[in-house]
Chain A
């Protein structure tokens, strides 16, 4: 079933790309740069606002005096809210970088560039708040510092087998998605280069190199064990 869906998805993408090429469809994103930047800043502000709300909710839940099965439900809720918080903050960091790059490339007003830098700093501060919150909620756990060069190794070290099991499934799914996502990115960049006459060759080479490095890193990691 999964393979059928993947084949159908690829067929739809192929059909859309081929049709757009046949009708000589062109889109120049430079024209919409300001709208894109303002929309992205709006999205980042919403993401940070929701993250802040989640932060206070976790703090409130932590101070809840629950007993019996309710204690398990509170712990599960805290865990889910942490995961949501983490996703929202990561997304806001990525979008902040995107906004900053767009303002620099399209030479927009200095105000928008400053706002982009500010959102990036605020998003980074939110990741520090997250680490502090984890340490508050789980004081018995020795959570490594985000700036630690061996953060990934130390985080795996303090995780128990259930957590590692969940992370492994999540990482493997993300790894597969990254492979497919980058391949789609290469195809779309090629299409964009042809349709707009603006070469995306550099991006295509970078994406291809990332793909090779990521796959190489994974293969060597499992090969040498």
Chain B
């Protein structure tokens, strides 16, 4: 699964620590998701989507063969 989190953070001028506070998780979790080493739960994905004001599926891109 690919993620556009880094790009969206840059767009909104947020660092990982700020995004972590807004989504009520640790900076470590944000870093892991961003490096595509962890697939977030539905709840965290929804919180991230709300911060960026984007639909979940436009932030986390699931490839066809993963489905």
- Hey, which bits of chain A sit against chain B, CB under 8 A? 68-69, 71-72, 75-76, 79, 160-163, 165-166
Contact = CB atoms under 8 A, between A and B. Distances in A.
The secondary structure that dominates the B interface is: helix
B17 A163 contact: no
B29 interface: yes
A163 B28 CA distance: 7
Interface of B: 15-18, 25-33, 37-38, 40-41, 44
The secondary structure that dominates the A interface is: helix
Nearest to B29: A162
A63 B30 CA distance: 23
A75 B16 CA distance: 10
A5 to B, nearest CB: 24
Shortest Cβ-Cβ A-B pairs, 6 listed: A162-B29, A72-B16, A160-B25, A162-B32, A71-B17, A162-B28
8 contacts: A68-B15, A72-B16, A72-B31, A75-B27, A79-B28, A161-B29, A162-B31, A163-B29
Contact of B32 (A69, A71, A76, A166): A166
B32 A165 contact: yes
Given A75-B27, A79-B28, A161 B38 contact: yes
Nearest to B27: A75
Contacts of B17: 71-72, 75
Interface centre among B16, B28, B30, B32 (most CB of A within 10 A): B28
Given A72-B27, A75-B27, A79-B28, A162 B15 contact: no
A166 B38 CA distance: 10
A162 B26 CA distance: 8
A72 B44 CA distance: 20
B15 A71 contact: yes
Contact of A166 (B15, B28, B40, B44): B28
Given A71-B15, A71-B17, A72-B17, A162 B41 contact: no
